[in-house]
Amino acid sequence: MMSKRLKILTYITPLLLVLFSCQEKINDDLKEKQNKLEVQKNIQKASVFYNKFSNSDSAFFYYNKAKLICDPKIDPDNYTNILNCMADIQLNHGDYIGSETTITDAIPYLKSLKDQNNIWNIYTTLGTNYLQTYNLNDALLYYNKALGLKIDESLKSLTKSNIASVLLEQQKYDEALQIFSRLSTKKELIEKPEYNAKNIDNIGLCYVKMNDPRGIQYLNHALQIRKDINNNSGVAVSNLHIASYYDENNDSFLAKKHALEAYKKFRKINNIDNKQTALKLLIKNSSDQELKKYSLLYVELVDSIFEVRQKAKNQFARIKYDSKREKEENLRLKTHKAENELKLERQKSRNIISYIIIVLSLCLILILYYYLTSKANRDKIEAAYNSETRISKKLHDELANDIYHTMAFAENKNLSLAENKEQLLHNLDAIYARTRDISKENCTIVTDKNYTSSLKEMISRFNTPNLNLLINGIDTISWNEVDKAKKTAVYRAIQELLVNMKKHSDASLVAIVFKETKKNIIINYTDNGKGIDVHKMVLKNGLHNIENRILAIKGEIDIDSEAGKGFKVFIKFPL
């Protein structure tokens, strides 16, 4: 039974630990889920402002806020996408260095990205930054990396167009023209007029740079497509390219006409760089008052470009700085919070350990209780068996022979004779007396206020004409303050001593002296019997029982005897 409970205990303890660890995992998963929801919420806010160019600073703010709380190790796709959007906003505002710095932070997480389109966005943004800053070799490097990804045909066509644009800037017109020409046959390009017009415009630029008269035809064709689809920015770009063509061919009237159209469109859509280029052409192809007018506009625009771009750089830098400072403050608060949570976790762990110890202790107490209960039951059964065996032996040894002799006497003697009848009655009376003594030895012991009387009565039964039995000090003991178990042990011990005396010692004088001290009760037993050799004595039966009883009540027992010099027993036990 005990081993079974131990097995149950070994199953319960790991189960408790597993339950606690599962609870911690659930809490961690919940925190991660809440963090992802907060990141997504900020991305959605940023996307709304991102679609409105005038609110790009707000978009940048919310993207940066999402970036600060997004964990790149857990959610690299979202993290890099946020960085790309931030870099794109900076790119559109002419903050090329800031854009490059932002998008570079995404490079360490490229291997963790599952979406190839996300990697393509990063490479393309880097390539465009380098193209705008005339770092053409690096621009070509990242555009080629973007082309090597597993992307759809439309993105591949756009990447090839970007590569051709770099080659055009590198004055590799033949290579650029070959790419633009191949793209013009692509179905995905033809089906999108805006991209088709851009590709035709680029073909025209290549021919122009190669001094091929077909160039102006392509430029005009691209302009017409863009007009048909109301692509204002595209119309402005086409006009700017055509103006440049006529400027190089010394046709001031047409150069001025198309430059003015481009300027109006760029001013409307607030494209500062191209507006500046258009003003340059207007200044070059104007005179008198118009020259002065466009020159003043150009100077004013240059000043405003510097101011706007510097303001944009400072604005994005300030957003990052403020966010960084806020993050540091949050980190300090989180550190303080984490320390408190750590203390709580430690306390929680201590509580868990305490609970486990309590559970284990309770289980051990239950096991010990059942073990002791079972042992007590076994001891009771064993004691009952020993008692029955002892009674049976006593009945056999002391009564069986007497009854047999009495039966034989009754059968063989003439009971009509008075003397025989008297002897029979005497024998029967002796048998009755012995039976009564055995019964008294094994009857229930009185331990209440009548204990002293019961003890005296038991001792007096051993008094015979041939034995003088003296009792001293029994009434001076505070028996009411003595535990029942101790009273029982004393009763049985004295009874066993007197039984042994009657059986073995042939004593004529017995003295039992009781004495009470502050903490103990002392009993001295002495008889003048034949005694025994203590060194050769083996404690058996009665004496063994006496010793066990006294030791059970945390007492002491000392036996002193020599052959022919009587028998002494010293007993002491605590109150």
Structural domain includes residue 235: no
Residue for token digits 């002296």? 513
Structural domain includes residue 391: no
Structural domain includes residue 364: no
Give the three-class secondary structure for 71: coil
Give the three-class secondary structure for 482: coil
Which of 230, 245, 266 marks a domain boundary? 230
Q: How many domains does the chain have?
A: 3
Task: With cut-offs at 50, 70 and 90, classify the pLDDT of residue 2.
Answer: very low
What is the Cα–Cα distance from 151 to 420, expressed in whole angstroms? 133
Q: In this structure, are residues 196 and 233 in contact, taking their beta carbons and an 8 Å threshold?
A: no
Q: Are residues 71 and 196 in the same domain?
A: no
Give the lowest-confidence range in 42-46, 306-310, 522-526. Answer: 306-310
Nearby residues of 353 by Cβ (< 8 Å), 6 or more positions away = none
Strands in 451-498 per DSSP E: 468-472
Q: Are residues 138 and 219 in the same domain?
A: no
Q: For residues 143-169, give the mean pLDDT.
A: 90
Structural domain includes residue 290: no
Which of 118, 151, 184 marks a domain boundary? 151
Q: Are residues 207 and 131 in the same domain?
A: no
Task: With cut-offs at 50, 70 and 90, classify the pLDDT of residue 189.
Answer: confident
Q: Are residues 55 and 104 in the same domain?
A: yes
CA distance between the termini of the chain: 37
Q: In terms of residue numbers, what domain contains 500?
A: 445-574
Specify the pTM: 0.51
Q: Are residues 109 and 185 in the same domain?
A: no
Give the lowest-confidence range in 41-45, 343-347, 410-414, 505-509. Answer: 410-414
Tell which residue, 485, 483, 496, 563, has the closest CA to residue 525.
496
Structural domain includes residue 345: no
Residue 361's Cβ-count burial label (10 Å; 0-12, 13-18, 19+) is: exposed
Q: Are residues 210 and 78 in the same domain?
A: no
Instruction: Give the count of beta carbons closer than 10 Å to the beta carbon of residue 442.
Output: 13
| Mean pLDDT across the chain | 81
CATH number of the structural domain spanning residue 47: 1.25.40.10
Q: Which amino acid, residue 247? A: D
Kind of pairing, strands 509-516 and 468-472? parallel
Instruction: Give the count of beta carbons closer than 10 Å to the beta carbon of residue 19.
Output: 10
Phi, psi (5° rounding) for residue 27?
Answer: -65, -40
Q: Are residues 130 and 188 in the same domain?
A: no
CATH number of the structural domain spanning residue 490: 3.30.565.10
Structural domain includes residue 127: yes
Q: Are residues 96 and 213 in the same domain?
A: no
Q: Are residues 498 and 562 in the same domain?
A: yes
What is the Cα–Cα distance from 93 to 99, expressed in whole angstroms? 9
Structural domain includes residue 1: yes
Structural domain includes residue 65: yes
Q: Are residues 451 and 564 in the same domain?
A: yes
Task: Say yes or no to pLDDT of 94 above 80.
Answer: no
Q: Are residues 58 and 133 in the same domain?
A: yes
Tens of pLDDT, residues 259-278: 899 989 888 877 777 888 88
Phi, psi (5° rounding) for residue 470?
Answer: -110, 135
Q: Are residues 147 and 177 in the same domain?
A: no
Tens of pLDDT, residues 4-27: 555 555 555 565 555 555 555 555
